[in-house]
């Protein structure tokens, strides 16, 4: 998979009770597709599995779906990567574990471990100010 263009995270709209509003989320996805983004990144906390599966239903094969695997622990990122593969994601978004301030070697081990869990294309996410790495 070659990543070119604009890949944007989709915001997660909630209803007044704090649950994911699937109809509003579908509208968000449709508006991003109409805006001609090149791919959509879906991730959330506990809801990330349901949200990712729903995003895949809405998107179908129109655009690639990239699922975020960000977590403090590599073990959690591995589980998110496995779930991404299970729902049919086209790729995964891998970032450094926040707060850990890993070395370059630890970052490489983390990314390779997550990669092996899903065997999907990887988009690396780097936000040096928040992740503590360059």
Instruction: List, for residues 18-44, the tens digit of each pLDDT value.
Output: 888 999 999 999 999 999 999 998 765
pTM of the predicted structure, to 2 decimals: 0.72
| 3-state class (DSSP) for residue 126 | coil
Tell me the domain boundaries of the chain.
7-131
User: Domain 7-131 is in which class?
Assistant: alpha beta
| 44-84 confidence digits (pLDDT tens) | 555 778 888 999 999 999 999 999 998 889 999 999 999 99
Cβ–Cβ contacts within 10 Å for residue 22, how many? 15
Tell me the C-alpha distance between 120 and 76, whole Å.
17
């Amino acid at each position: 998979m070659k990543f070119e263009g604009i890949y944007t995270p989709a915001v997660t709209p909630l209803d007044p009770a704090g649950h994911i509003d699937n109809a509003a989320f579908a509208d968000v996805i449709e508006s991003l597709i109409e805006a001609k983004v090149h791919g959509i990144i879906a991730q959330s906390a506990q809801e990330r599995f349901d949200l990712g599966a729903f995003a895949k239903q809405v998107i179908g094969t129109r655009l690639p779906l990239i699922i975020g695997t960000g977590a403090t622990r590599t073990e959690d990122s591995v589980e998110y990567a496995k779930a991404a593969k299970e729902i049919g994601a086209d790729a995964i978004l891998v970032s450094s574990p926040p707060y850990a301030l890993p070395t370059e070697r630890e970052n490489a081990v983390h990314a390779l471990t997550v990669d092996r869990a899903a065997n999907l294309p990887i988009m690396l996410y780097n936000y040096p100010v928040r992740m503590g790495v360059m």
